Structure formats: structure tokens, C-alpha cells
Amino acid sequence: MRVAVTGAAGRLGRALVDALGAAPFTGLSGPLAWTRAVFDLDHPASIADLLERDRPEVVVHAAAWTDVDGCAREPELAMRRNAEATRLLAEACAARGLDLVVVSTNEVFDGRRTDGFGYRPGDEPHPLNPYGLSKLAGEEAARRAYQALAGPAQVAIVRTAWLFGPGAPDFPSKILAAAERALASGEPLRVVADEWGNPTYVVDLAEAIVELLGSGEFAGTHHVVNALAATRADWARDVVARAGLGVEVVGVPGASWPRASSPPHWGVLEATPLPSGEPLRPWRDAMADYAPLLLRARAASR
């Protein structure tokens, strides 16, 4: 199977390229790594020529503008990058009978539910912010592109949340830096305690997407997250403890820091079953694997 990955230089993209490279169905040549230099969300019309040149059978669309506050400040740009580029990609793939996987977000939901359950794929999306709106529009455009197809080509939406892993500074790496500053100043570390989500390790997410592709039948909407929910403050306490930093983490309301965007307070997804029937591991177990990489990277940055 010839698989192309958009956003291949990003956090998830790199994990996907690694996971696909180890998958038996991608062959000796491995996946096609489409970085921004190859497929640019600001110039998506080039996708038709790219598909003709590289001839993939499946495209995993991991590229996105994920700067939530940036999207709030420039909502039209968010729509162009996350919705219009996805539409053009989906239409080009559908016209050629190619399978497509679009990576999306928990922020398509408003986070206002109070029953303690995670959002399911069939729950009605209602984004609170321009990032969520643009990602939902991309989902809908991808589905429309495949609705009229009579052939076997399939489209999947994979929603996830709170990604962490190697690459540009993620939440754990930012928490480490903030905790060191707090410790030096003798102050507690204040972290948002009224936002809930599923911290999800990109390595686990990438392996799950590979499992979906390997099953051969993956059409539909999937929620793929590490097990168990947490607040940002819960997650920060885990990071601080693994780093052995003796700083107190104090939970505060999200309103303590005015932002351009409005994140959902309850951004928890209910994971859908993978083909193996095995759910992703709890996020703390994933953090245990990631922590040595995180701590080495932090030491090297000093």
C-alpha cells in the first residue's frame, strides 16, 4: 500500500512516517513524507499534480494550522488552511478513487456537557472557536467529496485531543520550563484546572492510525485518544513529579489568563474501538514512556 502523509515534518506527521515505515503493508519504500515544502496549506491547488506524480493509494492528512489562538485572531486564514485545503485534497483524492484519512480535533465540540461522559462520534458538533469551526468544516468537506462515489474508496475522520510528543514545545515541555521558573522564584505553578481532555501520545495515535489502515476497512469517524481524562493541572502535576521538581501545582480557572480563543471546558472524547479491540493505554502510562525523552530534551536545551 502506497501511503502519503501530509504535514510529515510536524509532531504527528513524523510519528506517522515512523509507524508506517515499520508497517509491513507499506513495502520497502515506506510512506511518502509530504512536508510543507511538498504540500503547503497556503497553496493547496498543487495537490492534483502531486497525486499524479507520486501515485499514493491512501493519503493521511495530518497537516493543519493548530495554533488555536492564531486561528481566533485570523479566522479566515484558519478556514483556508484547515477547511479549504482539506476540501481540495479530498476532492482530488475522491476523483482518483484514493482513500483518505483526515485528522481532526476534540474542539469540534463545545465542551458544555455535564454528564461526565466523553463525546462520541455521533454527538452533534458545535465548535466554540474558529479553530474548531475550521476543522469541522474540513471534516464536512471531506465527507461530501466521498458521498457520491460508487466505488470502494473510503474516507475516515480521526478525532483526537491534547497531543504530546517529540517536536516543537508541547504542553509537558512548556510545563517543565514554567515549573523551573516557579521554583527559582519560590512561587507555586498555577495551571488551569477547569479544562478537561485526553492527553494523547503521538506515538500511540500514529500506531492506531496504522492499525486502521492495515484493517482495510476504516471509513467513518473515529475517536482515538489515550485512555482516561485529566485536567491541565492534573497533567502538569504528573510532569512535575516525573521531573522530580519540588514545586507546588495550584489549579486555577482558565479565565485567569485571557486568551483569543475559547477552549472547551469538557473536551473529553470517548474512544471508539480499534480493529484489534484493544484501546489505547492510559495517558499516564504513555507519559512514562515519553518522560525520558522529554527530560533529555529539556537538559539539552539549557
Which residues belong to the active site?
A: 131
**How far is it, in rounded angstroms, from Cα 233 to Cα 190?**
8
**How far is it, in rounded angstroms, from Cα 134 to Cα 82?**
5
Radius of gyration of the chain (CA): 19
The 3-state DSSP class for residue 138 equals: helix
DSSP string, 36-86: TTTS-TTSGGGHHHHHHHH--SEEEE------HHHHHH-HHHHHIIIIIHH
**How far is it, in rounded angstroms, from Cα 136 to Cα 144?**
12
Residue 115 neighbours by CB distance under 10 Å: 6
Q: Please list, in sequence order, all residues whose beta carbon lies within 8 angstroms of the beta carbon of residue 219, skipping any fewer than 6 positions away.
A: 154, 155, 156
**How far is it, in rounded angstroms, from Cα 235 to Cα 229?**
10
